[in-house]
Amino acid sequence: MNTLGIGQIHREEYDQSEPLVIAEAPGRVHLLGDHGEPRAGLFLSTAIDRYIRVAVSVRKDASFRFYAVALDERKRATLTNLKYKREDRWSNYIKVAIQLFVRMGFIDRGLNFTIDGDVPRQIGLASSTAVEAATAVALRKLFHANINNRDLVARLARVREIFLGKGASLVDYEIIMNARKGCFMIFDESTRDVRYIQTNLDGYKILILDSRVPRIDVEQELRQRRHDIRKGLEILSQHRPGIGFKDFTSADFIEADGDLSETIRRRSFFVVQELKRVPEVEEAIKKHDVQNLSRALFHSHEGLRDLLEVSCPEIDWLVKRSQETEGVAGSRMTGLGFGGCTYVFIKTNAIADYQKRLEDYERIFGFRPIIYEMDTADGARVVE
């Protein structure tokens, strides 16, 4: 939907109440690093040209009204009852941003919100974070709040953790707020340092493939993976306190023989390898070295499959078909795993061949993958 469309819908929904600001935020995809050391990872990521858009106008009372265009659903809250409600689903993410500006002393009246967009939901492309970011950017403009992106990201993450009752990573906020079109981002979670790489892959597109595999009760599995990784770091660093996985090499695992269980060894070894892959891929992209780029990305997926064990047969099948396709410069699972998505770097003229190779997927697994063609995008912004 274009921005004029959401403005008109907002007026019709709220008795001709004119939206005072419209903002948008992109989704994102992690290319590497999304299963690293907790709160100290190294990510290679990019924003994608699918957006969540939010229109805001002011009310005369103290209530908040929310309208989701795509779902044709309405929710409401008040200043005195601004809390998480499971049944409010998508509007809870708008409330995270509202709560932030309430705490900053800007909101003392009601507001109308209309939300729409085309970021695919519940497949690991950060649609919920995009809702928070778009709402926060709109409110920052509405109230002329003097807060830069870095502070806004930190405060949003803290409020989300309190409001939703679960940990929030800065990574998705940083990417969605600060992305640049035509660039990938490398984000160091431990220092919050960001550097940008020109994509430098002319003639290639990014495909996102939704495997359609439902993720059911995977949180316990993911908690176990995080526990194993933390335990591995604890054991490896017992004689070298204060260091992280980026300080270890493959040789350290030989020296630690006997100290690590086989499971913890595999999990930890994946993280150490992945940290080394990020600069390798950065160098390959800069040099347009498709061979080394492809090798690193496929090896990363093999690690997710064999060492971390967060993949599944459907995801592995999609990656294998891409590996067999001429014109593919790499593919890998992205997101939490146990279903979800893969991404593929592919030459434009090879897309048809790859799609043909996917025809057997429905016959084998019983459902058809959904393919999204993506490009890189700028970060969250007010739409003038």
Structural contact between residues 50 and 132, judged by C-beta atoms closer than 8 angstroms: no
Please give the Cα distance from 245 to 41 (Å, whole number). Answer: 9
Residue among 172, 193, 257, 353 flagged as catalytic: 172
CB neighbourhood size of 113 (10 A): 27
Helix, strand or coil, per DSSP, at residue 343 = strand
Q: Which amino acid is at 170?
A: L
> Is position 61 annotated as part of the catalytic site?
no
Please give the Cα distance from 144 to 186 (Å, whole number). Answer: 30
* N- to C-terminal Cα separation, the chain: 16
Structural contact between residues 288 and 321, judged by C-beta atoms closer than 8 angstroms: no
Instruction: Determine whether 258 is exposed, middle or buried from the number of CB atoms within 10 Å of its CB (0-12, 13-18, 19+).
Output: exposed
Please give the Cα distance from 26 to 126 (Å, whole number). Answer: 9
Catalytic positions are 172
